[in-house]
Amino acid sequence: MAKDSDLDSAPDLSRDGWPEKFAKVTVRRGRPPVAKPKVSTTIRLSQDVIDHFRAGGKGWQTRIDEALREWIGSR
Computed on alpha carbons and rounded to an integer, the radius of gyration of the chain in Å comes to: 24
The structure's pTM equals 0.55
> CB of 53 within 8 A of CB of 63?
yes
Q: Give me the residue spans of the domains in the chain.
A: 38-75
Give dist(CA 54, CA 15) in Å, integer: 52
Please write the tens of the pLDDT for every residue from 7-40: 667 777 777 777 777 777 788 888 888 888 889 9
**Residue 2 to residues 11, 50, 68, Cα–Cα distance (Å):** 15, 48, 53
Taking the mean position of all CA atoms in its chain, how far away is CA 65? 18
**Element containing residue 71 per DSSP (H, E):** helix 60-73
| Per-residue model confidence (pLDDT) at position 13 | 72
